[in-house]
Amino acid sequence: MTIKRFIPLLAISTLVVSATVHAEQVEISLVDKLDGYLDNYCLDIKGTGNNIDTSKGLQLHTCYSYKGALGKDQIFDTVEFEHEMLYLPKFDVCAELAHLSVGSEVTLATCNSTAEQKFAFSGNGIITPTVEPTLCLTASLDTKRGRNGTSKHQIKGLTLESCAADLAQFQTWQTNSK
């Protein structure tokens, strides 16, 4: 009798563990290192340390994984990729587009599953708004140094641009975990 009770409990425990295994925290980085010399460029919330400000949106910044761990302002939850959301769990916000046009920046907002927060991303390739798949998240050409030029970390802008083969190095993304 005890064995019969144990087996269903074991089956439920296995389901809970396997569901948890699929949730992974990752950084989203460009595949091409471009001009980065510490590591790749990652999607990153603007601001540093205690001055991280979700109201300023996303940028590209040197990935912190070269230090051996992911930076809290660069962590995305892969479970939300299945729901077409770019979710930053440490700040409980999602990427959002205020405009669906070339040159638009990526903002952050409370997750609400609206069309402006839906992005197609398989974890390896381009990231596009689901309502406008001809536009891609794109790293800018310009590079600046953090902390008003005094840091070795590098920063790039992030905008929505037309998807194009000749921009692949600025538009092809991957996930990494440490």
List the pLDDT tens digit at each of the 178 positions of the chain. 444 443 443 333 333 334 444 678 999 999 998 887 777 899 999 987 778 899 999 999 999 887 788 889 999 999 999 999 999 999 999 999 989 999 999 999 999 999 999 999 977 799 999 999 999 999 998 887 776 666 778 899 999 999 999 999 999 999 998 7
CATH number of the structural domain spanning residue 69? 2.80.10.50
In degrees, to the nearest 5, what angle opens at C-alpha 35 toward C-alphas 174 and 169? 45
**What letter represents residue 146's amino acid?**
G
Instruction: Say if 60 falls within a structural domain.
Output: yes
Provide the domain count of the chain: 1
Inside any domain, residue 94: yes
The answer to whether position 6 is within a domain reads no
Rg of the chain taking only CA atoms, in angstroms = 18
Question: Whole-angstrom Cα distance, residue 153 to residue 109?
Answer: 26
Residue 9 in domain: no
- Is the pTM higher than 0.75? The answer reads yes
Q: Is position 14 within any domain?
A: no
Per the structure, the complete domain to which residue 94 belongs is given by: 24-176
Question: Facing residues of 128 across strands?
Answer: 120
User: Hey, how many other C-beta atoms are within 10 angstroms of the C-beta on 58?
Assistant: 26
Q: Is residue 2 part of a domain?
A: no
Of 157, 154, 163, give the one whose Cα is nearest residue 134: 163
